[in-house]
Structures are given as C-alpha cells and as structure tokens.
A and B are shown apart, each in its own frame.
Chain A
C-alpha cells in the first residue's frame, strides 16, 4: 500500500480503489451502489446491519455519541474487513455532530490499524471529489447522477391515505430511513392498519443541503412552492436552516397539521442536538392543535417489546379517534 503515497499524500488510481459507503435504508443504498458501479468503480457494500455490526460500532465510540455514528462505524469496519480500501463520507457543513463524523471515523479506524483512504464530500465539492475518485469527466458524472436522482425520486413516492389514519413521521433522517435503526417502523405502522407519511426522505435531505439537486428541482420552482408559507411561519421559532432537521421538522409539522394528519411520530437518536432544540416547540404545536404525539428515542439498547407496545397502542388510539 505504501506505493500509493506520493509526497506524503495518498494518491490512489481509480482502478485500484475498492469503494464502500455506510448503509442507509436497503432501497436507497442499492441506488447509491448502482450509481457508483455505473462510474466503473469497484464497490463493496457493507453486509446488512446486524447486532454484530452495532456491537463493533459501540465498542469503539463514546457512550453518549448519537446512534448513527455507531452504526456507520460498524458498517465501515465490516466493509473494510471484506476488502474495501476507500471510504466515501458525506458532510453537510452544518452545526450538529454529523460534521465530525468523518473525522471520528478516520481517527477511530486508523487507530484500529485499518489501511484506507477516506474521501469526504460536501455540497460544494461533490462532483469534483467524485471525479477524483472515479477518474471520469464531470459531464459523465452529472449525467449518471441525474439518472440516479430520478430513480431515488421514484423510490421515495408516498401516498396520503383516504380511508386509514395518516401518521406523519418527523425526526432525524438516518433513523427514519434505515430499517434496522427504526426496527422497520413503516412496515409495523402498515401492519397495525395505519398509513405512514415520511416528511424526511433522502430526497428532501438532498434538496435542502445540496444546491445541485435543488437546481434539478428547478421546474418545481415555477409551481407555487407549497411549503413556502410554512417556512415563513417556522421562522417564528428558528431563523433558517442551521443543521440536522430542526427547521425542516418545524415547517413539515405545520404542513402536516394543516393537512389534517391524525398523529405524529417523532423519531430521533437519543441526545440528538437539533431534535432536542425543537422538542418544546413540537410539543406545544401538537398540544395546541390536539394531535397525539409519540416520541421514539433510538439507541442501541432499544427493546423490541417496549417499542411494539408503544407503537401498537398509538396506532389503536388513532384508529379509535379516526372512527369517531
């Protein structure tokens, strides 16, 4: 591996790279994998998240750090064990702990003796970093990125139910989209006879944090932005996007309530800073409009029986109210 170092900096050729990335939802991870493979990169997806993955992650992180870091660290370790040598990481340049994830990953994994190269992308250098990793030109990358974006848009379609109670999901993007982290929340809601509407999808995450994807959504811009007035109203509580999903959750919550949602479930990792910041606002908004609210804290110590008792009862209450 030492041959990869030139002037103290690692210079790896695109054909030597074996790329990996942390999982976030089965469907979405598959789309990311297809995209990277379309750039002629060798990709090793981490094996599906299991208890073993979490154990590995928990062993090498601080106790009070948020849950997504533990799970993604476990994913990286399993992928590195399978032979990957390049980690792709993402940074939103926000103000929450997500910003130091890539540095913590690098620090921890180097300390554990792994040999790898970490590529940190952010909204500004997404395309140029991908160019560096894959060796393709920018136009090819943009074209492939656009087709993956369309696929993501299709997979993120959701419906508002007319004959079942609708449950609005707000919270943190990782915990809402990863089936392992939230113990298949959406599937369970469906099983208990309600319809879930997730307001924090990967697509929204990209729209709000990456200007490039915003540009592709330009044709939506000419349509009247449905959320515009809610964004203004949310300014009362918070002046604009800072980090995480605090601001988005506030305007999405108001939008859901105006849409006559039957219940709200807030999913966030324990000790998530942006979510803790807006907790009293969410409580107050829900209380004023008499919408039941269920909070689910995600951590590695979650017991399935506890989770199911809460969720089942919540869904049953909503069904009773809906009939009334």
Chain B
C-alpha cells in the first residue's frame, strides 16, 4: 500500500483533488465541476481513491473548507491564499506575485523575502471575477479551457472595464456588433479583470 496525503480545494464553481506521496511528489489529481458539494465530493473520492492508497492525512482549502472539513474530519483547514502562498514559496521561491482568478473572488498575493507582504481581494461585489469570464466565453461560443490560448492571439487592444459584470457583458456585445474578433474581446476582458488587482494599491512586481 502506498502512503499518500489528500488535498481538496472546495471552490464555488469547481472542486480540485490532489494526492501527494511522502516525497512531496504529485501522484494523481482530479478536477470536477461543482454540482452540489456532497455529491461531487463523493464522486471525486470514488474516482481518485482505490485500495492501493493509504491516506494518512487530509488538508482542505477553498471557500467551503469549514463545512467539508467538518464532514470528512480534515487534519488541516486553511484559506486558499495561504495554501497558494505556501506551495508557491516551496516550489517557486523566486516568485514575487500570485494572481488567482477564482469564480467569485480574485486575489493578488505579494511576496517579499520569502513571506507574504500583502494581499488584495475584490471587495463585496464579485463582478469581474472568473464567473464573468466564463459567462462571456460561453456567450462567444468558446470553452473556458480554450480562452487563454485564444486570447494570446490578440492583435488589437480593446478597453473593457471590469467594474460590473453586467456592464462588461454589454460592452462585449457592442464590440461584437462592431465586428471585433473573439481574440481581441477575450484579451480585453482578461486585461479588465487583472488591472484592478495590479493597480493602484498593490503594486505587483515583475
């Protein structure tokens, strides 16, 4: 039997499972859309675990961490920002900034000399977060997985503000009606989403 440690990230739109062995190497991982927390976790655990694994510890992060941690008796529950920062400092110690586009909140984490200096998150409204990006991609007929690759082919710079998801959507519609390409629109949306994270309060380092 192989000794493994299980990590679960309980996000609002998706769940991620990861198995790690004693040498801190990734054994297996799984990404599932969130169709109701309990059912998705059941399905995920069935898929990722089998008789060959001996799970010695469980760590949970994400917005649903408290609830799921209580259900499956987690050994470690911590917020996603700390989880990102700890793993990033371990595997990529020279990093200065992490930007995480979640479904309902965006975060930028800033490092200084191997510890977290500051972090910035969107305030109360979740307009201009990952869910908006997914919605706009669906509207343009693009799968969310292909957005990054497609946006990199952009040639023209479009200004799309990210103050509100509804306004963003209407700007996308007007750009589309003017005949702009999907690549330019998607790049504009991504730029709109990331600009408030980098400017002006949290100066991300290159």
Contacts and interface: CB of A to CB of B under 8 A. Distances in A.
A292 B81 contact: no
Given A299-B124, A301-B124, A302-B124, A309 B119 contact: no
A276 to B, nearest CB: 13
Contacts of A295: 123
Nearest to A301: B124
Interface string B59-89: 0000110100000000000111110000000
B115 A321 contact: yes
Interface in A297-315: 297, 299, 301-302, 305-306, 308-310, 312-314
A270 interface: yes
Contacts of B63: 305-306, 309
B81 A309 contact: yes
A37 interface: no
Contacts of A320: 115-116
Contacts of A310: 121
A40 interface: no
Contact of A313 (B64, B79, B123): B79
A316 B115 contact: no
B184 interface: no
A316 B79 contact: yes
Contacts of B206: none
Contacts, number: 44
A259 interface: no
A324 interface: yes
A283 interface: yes
A295 B121 CA distance: 10
A270 B123 CA distance: 10
Contacts of B79: 308-309, 312-313, 316
Given A306-B105, A309-B79, A324 B115 contact: yes
Nearest to B109: A313
A316 B5 CA distance: 23
B124 A316 contact: no
A320 B85 CA distance: 12
Contact of B119 (A297, A299, A317): A317
B201 interface: yes
B156 interface: no
B82 A313 contact: yes
Interface residues of A, number: 21
B77 to A, nearest CB: 9
Contacts of B82: 312-313, 316
B14 to A, nearest CB: 16
Interface in B147-174: none
Interface string A266-296: 0000100000000000010000000010010
Contacts of A283: 201
Interface string B168-183: 0000000000000000
A321 B79 CA distance: 17
Contacts of A297: 123-124
Contacts of B80: 309
B112 to A, nearest CB: 10
- Tell which of B64, B78, B116, B124 has the most Cβ of chain A within 10 Å: B124
A242 B50 CA distance: 67
- Tell which of A292, A305, A308, A314 has the most Cβ of chain B within 10 Å: A305
A314 B121 CA distance: 11
A180 B46 CA distance: 41
A198 B63 CA distance: 28
B124 A270 contact: yes
A299 B124 CA distance: 9
B116 A317 contact: yes
Contacts of A306: 63, 105, 124
A190 B201 CA distance: 28
B195 interface: no
Interface of A: 270, 283, 292, 295, 297, 299, 301-302, 305-306, 308-310, 312-314, 316-317, 320-321, 324
Given A309-B79, A309-B80, A310-B121, 13 more contacts: A295-B123, A297-B124, A299-B124, A301-B124, A308-B79, A309-B63, A309-B121, A312-B79, A312-B82, A313-B82, A313-B119, A317-B118, A320-B115
List the 4 shortest-distance A-B pairs measured between CB atoms, nearest first: A313-B81, A305-B63, A313-B79, A312-B79
Interface of B: 63-64, 66, 78-82, 105, 115-119, 121, 123-124, 201
23 contacts: A283-B201, A292-B117, A295-B123, A301-B124, A302-B124, A305-B66, A306-B63, A308-B79, A309-B63, A309-B80, A309-B81, A309-B105, A309-B121, A310-B121, A312-B78, A313-B79, A313-B81, A313-B82, A313-B119, A316-B78, A317-B115, A321-B115, A324-B115
